Amino acid sequence: MAKNWCIGIIGGSGLYDIEGIEDEQWLALETPWGDPSDEILFGRIDDVQVRFLPRHGRGHPISPSGLNSRANIDALKRAGCTDILAISAVGSLREEIEPGRFAIAEQFIDNTRGRASSFFTSGCVAHVSMADPVCPRLSEMAAKAVTAAKGKVATGATYLAMEGPQFSTRAESHMYRAWGADIIGMTAMPEAKLAREAELPYALIGMATDYDCWHEEEEAVDVAAVLKQMKANGALARKAVLNFIKALPKTRKASPIDTCLDESIITAPNERDPALLAKLDAVAGRVLKSK
């Protein structure tokens, strides 16, 4: 069934606001998973409803390991989002993805440690497919939006999610390259997994700031260099986000991800934990009410 777009924008390092938003209002949303990173900016761009969440909070007080991704995704779902476009600063593991180039993620390797990565814990178990972890429709539109903003873009990138907050060792950086990763960051996992569980199509624009530490002819990554490149990337990212939203079709056609929980919940109805079901009201209310 067709419905109107409501785009959730998760702003990463270097993107703490968006341009062109009207009727803006910051609202605090409560979730059963705890507090999200910040209030959510509600507004619209033309006829498209927009919800903006700064991933690390305004002023960047939250470390990658401290992010409550379950609360962030739940809050965006409660805010009415139909789709999510995530923006992240990343390191490059490939010569051709030079600092300043943007990369559209297609696959992920999750090398994080100890992060809560599912809404479906014991009491209501679900297994969603992550074979194709991003929405191809959103990803294609994201690449076109970067190009329209006069940015350089690479597509089909594999994103290696590391724990952080420290940067890689040289040995790790070379290992990730051998694994086939193209870009590296600290925040897209479990974010992308949770978006899928919440039936929210997800795409990610990675903003390359450095060559991590594998590149023999470049200095090893440090915060000063990252911040300098982030400033330039942020201006382009804001233009790309605006282009992305303005180019959306008038009507949102249904995505297979909209109903991916239909065949994913495995726990029998009489064995489901009522307390957990109550916490899943936003994330999985559609399918739980029908079963």
Binding residue positions? 13, 55-56, 88-89, 186-187, 210-212
* Contact yes or no for 105/188 (Cβ under 8 A): yes
Burial of 134 (0-12, 13-18, 19+ CB in 10 A): buried
Helix ranges, the chain (H): 69-78, 136-148, 170-179, 188-197, 223-246, 274-279, 285-288
The encoded tokens of residue 248 equal: 């959306």
What's the gap between Cα 213 and its chain centre? 24
Neighbours of 231 (CB within 10 A): 11
User: What does the alpha-carbon distance between residue 67 and residue 60 come to, in Å, rounded to a whole number?
Assistant: 11
Binding-site members for substrate are: 186, 210-212
Q: Which of 15, 107, 110 is nearest to 69 (CA)?
A: 110
Q: Which of 188, 193, 29, 181 is nearest to 93 (CA)?
A: 181
User: What does the alpha-carbon distance between residue 110 and residue 129 come to, in Å, rounded to a whole number?
Assistant: 15
Residue at token pair 């065949």: 263
Q: Treating both helix axes as pointing N-terminal to C-terminal, what angle do 223-246 and 136-148 enclose, rounded to 10 degrees?
A: 110
Residues annotated as catalytic (active site), given as ranges: 210, 212
User: Residues with Cβ < 8 Å from 280, sequence gap 6 or more?
Assistant: 119, 120, 124, 288
Binding-site members for phosphate are: 13, 55-56, 88-89, 187
